[in-house]
Amino acid sequence: MFYSDPLVKEGFLFEESGFTAQLCNSDESLKTAYRLRYKAYRSVNGIPENPAEMAKDKYDLQPNARTHLIWYEDQPVASVRSMIRSGAYSGQSTTCVDAYRSEIDKEFGPATPLLESNRYVVDPEFKGRKSLTAQYLLFRIQTISCLYDRCQFVITAVRSNHVSFYKRLMGFYPISKPRIVPGFQFETVLLATPYSNRMILAKNASAATSTLEDYERYVRQAAALELV
């Protein structure tokens, strides 16, 4: 198998084109994701400096949050967090629900199950075509996570210059005006797309297409995470 690092093996999800996807289910794997987030956000002056050089928040350890890593040649190169707004998590909030509650309630009402994709980062030193593949794999993870929680829509807050990428790749559309939200030093706009638009994603990027085996493995790893 791909993994020489036991840290990766513990939450293994899938392999694709030399990359490995992992569900973080230990303190060490989470810290790896936090350090990668910090590096990415600091590269664009997105967050203030901190001595721990980790970007984490109060949502990370909530039961409706799952953090993932993408590895390449034993190096962590990308990460994303899934956050779920649904009755299954006893009203646990998410970053976007707290920041864009009026827009979300207007668009979906208070009860529609939503997957929020956030903390989407790629190592700023990991560039070129491989960086794009890593981004596609983050989308692949989120479509699997969305299915796992039976979410009808995906939402995400992105910088304005990234809106066209999300629109092209998975049919995202804006449901808010750009503004600065707590914890960041740049403006974001809230986007949404129905889960059914995963077919657009599959058409645009084959690496982003999930399989039944991906989903079955995700179910096992998520169940293990719930036991931690």
Tokens representing 211 are 């399989």
Tokens representing 143 are 């479509």
Number of domains in the chain: 1
Residue 228 — pLDDT band, cuts 50, 70, 90?
Answer: low
Give pLDDT, residue 9: 62
CATH number at residue 36: 3.40.630.30
Mean pLDDT score, 144-159: 94
In a domain, 207, yes or no: yes
One-letter amino acid at 85 equals R
| 6, pLDDT greater than 70 | no
Residue range(s) defining the domain that contains residue 83: 6-227
In a domain, 20, yes or no: yes
Residue 157: strand, helix, or coil: strand
Give pLDDT, residue 226: 73
In a domain, 183, yes or no: yes
Q: What is the pTM of this model?
A: 0.91
Residue 1 — pLDDT band, cuts 50, 70, 90?
Answer: very low
Which residues on neighbouring strands pair with residue 121, listed in sequence order?
A: 79
In a domain, 1, yes or no: no
Instruction: Single out the residue of 76, 62, 64, 65 nearest to residue 21, CA to CA.
Output: 76
Dihedral over Cα of 81, 84, 90, 92: its sign: positive
In a domain, 114, yes or no: yes
In a domain, 136, yes or no: yes
In a domain, 120, yes or no: yes
Arithmetic mean of pLDDT over the chain: 90
Q: What is the pLDDT of residues 176-225, one digit of tens each?
A: 998 887 777 778 899 999 999 998 888 888 898 999 999 999 998 988 87
Q: What is the pLDDT of residues 92-149, one digit of tens each?
A: 999 999 999 999 999 999 889 999 999 999 999 999 999 999 999 999 999 999 999 9
In a domain, 113, yes or no: yes
Residue percentage of the chain with pLDDT more than 90: 70
